[in-house]
Structures are given as C-alpha cells and as structure tokens.
C-alpha cells in the first residue's frame, strides 16, 4: 500500500523523515541482530516508521519519537520471531538459513560462538543484551523500550551475559 503526503497527519512528514534519515540504518541493524533476517528486519523498520507517520497526531509526546519507533521495531521483531517459531514446526515451509561466504569469513570463531549463544537465549535476555551492548542504551531506555522495570532489565542482562559466558567457555 502506498502512502502519500495527503494520507499523513499534518506536521508529520518533516520530523519523521528526519528521524528516518538519522536512525533507520541502526534500527535495521538492531532488527537483523534480533531476527537474523535482513529482509524481515527492513520490513519491520519500514512498518514502524509507517506506524509513526500514521499515528503522529495521536502521540501523547512527540519530543521522543525515537523511543516509539524503537519499541515498535522491538515488537515487530517479537512478532517475526513468533512467526518463525511457528514455521519451524513445519520444516517443509521454511528455507534453511545460509549465510554468505563473505559474512562467514568476516566473523571470527568467537564472534560466531557469541552470536550462536545470543540466538539461544530467551527473548527477554537477548533483547536486553542487544539494546544494551549493540545500541548502547541505558537501563532506563531499555526498560522503557521493552516495557519492563529497570530491575528486570538488570537481571535479564546479568543472566544473559552469564549464559553467553558459559556457552562460549563450553564451546572452547
């Protein structure tokens, strides 16, 4: 579905376009880390920005639209992961994920171990770690993005790091 300027709330085009120009690539990278699929990640980010455009005049606070988009991307990733989990129960409907030779060569063995360990974590721990160490968000920003308390962010981060450490140690 195409969206034209006339479909948008008044005053949304300039700030949302500027936000997109500044943060879209980083949000796509975030979504790729969480979903493991670039095409899905790009779709998730596009949907998040489209949602921001459409809801611009309904936002309670337009001073922090990045937090809204970041939360939308995180929710989109959760939805994509649930869909992927459902599809994995029907193996004949899914493709076998294969990384390119270039991406395999660029990642060192330890990085592959950490990425594998990250993918095995429960979603809350994985999301908290990615938001903290990939996007460098504060505990407060992570709590706001994930819709959980700061204490839960701390415990999820701590448990996730411990699990990754155990996995990498066992794999060595």
Same domain? For 84 and 141 the reply is no
State both tokens at 68: 């809204």
Distance CA 48, CA 157 (A): 25
Q: Say if residues 24 and 45 touch (Cβ distance below 8 Å).
A: yes
- The length of the chain, given as a count of residues: 172
Q: Which of 71, 97, 123 is the last residue of a domain?
A: 97
Same domain? For 156 and 133 the reply is yes
Same domain? For 93 and 117 the reply is no
What is the gyration radius of the CA atoms in the chain, in angstroms? 18
Distance CA 141, CA 147 (A): 10
What is the CATH number for 82? Answer: 1.10.1740
Same domain? For 119 and 93 the reply is no
State both tokens at 140: 């407060």
Same domain? For 81 and 106 the reply is no
Structural domain range at position 58: 1-97
Question: In this predicted model, what pLDDT tens digit does every residue of 28-86 receive, in sequence order?
Answer: 999 998 888 899 999 999 999 998 888 887 777 667 788 889 999 999 999 988 888 77
Same domain? For 88 and 141 the reply is no
Same domain? For 44 and 60 the reply is yes
Q: Which of 73, 97, 121 is the last residue of a domain?
A: 97
Same domain? For 87 and 163 the reply is no
C-alpha count within 13 angstroms, C-beta hemisphere, residue 23: 22
Same domain? For 53 and 121 the reply is no
On the question of pLDDT at 12 being above 90, the answer is no
Distance CA 120, CA 62 (A): 36
**The pTM is what?**
0.62
Question: In this predicted model, what pLDDT tens digit does every residue of 78-118 receive, in sequence order?
Answer: 998 888 877 665 444 334 444 566 555 556 777 778 888 88
Distances 119 to 33, 56, 84, 110 between C-alpha atoms, Å: 9, 34, 13, 14
Same domain? For 33 and 116 the reply is no
Question: In this predicted model, what pLDDT tens digit does every residue of 115-136 receive, in sequence order?
Answer: 888 888 998 999 999 999 888 8
What is the CATH number for 149? Answer: 1.10.10.10
On the question of pLDDT at 164 being above 50, the answer is yes
Q: Which of 67, 97, 127 is the last residue of a domain?
A: 97
Same domain? For 129 and 172 the reply is yes
Domain count, the chain: 2
- Residue whose entry in the numeric block shows the structure tokens 């721990």: 125
Same domain? For 86 and 122 the reply is no
């Amino acid at each position: 579905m195409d969206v034209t300027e006339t479909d948008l709330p008044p005053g949304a085009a300039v700030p949302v376009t500027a936000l997109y120009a500044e943060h879209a690539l980083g949000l796509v990278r975030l979504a790729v880390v969480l979903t493991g699929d670039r095409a899905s990640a790009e779709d998730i980010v596009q949907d998040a920005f489209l949602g921001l455009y459409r809801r611009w005049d309904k936002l309670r606070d337009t001073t922090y639209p990045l937090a809204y988009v970041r939360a939308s991307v995180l929710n989109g990733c959760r939805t994509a992961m649930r869909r992927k989990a459902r599809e994995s129960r029907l193996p004949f409907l899914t493709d076998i994920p294969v990384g390119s030779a270039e991406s395999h060569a660029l990642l060192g063995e330890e990085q592959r171990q950490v990425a594998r360990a990250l993918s095995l974590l429960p979603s809350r721990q994985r999301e908290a770690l990615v938001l903290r160490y990939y996007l460098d968000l504060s505990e407060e920003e992570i709590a706001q993005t994930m819709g959980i308390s700061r204490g839960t962010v701390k415990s999820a981060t701590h448990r996730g790091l411990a699990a990754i450490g155990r996995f990498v140690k066992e794999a060595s």
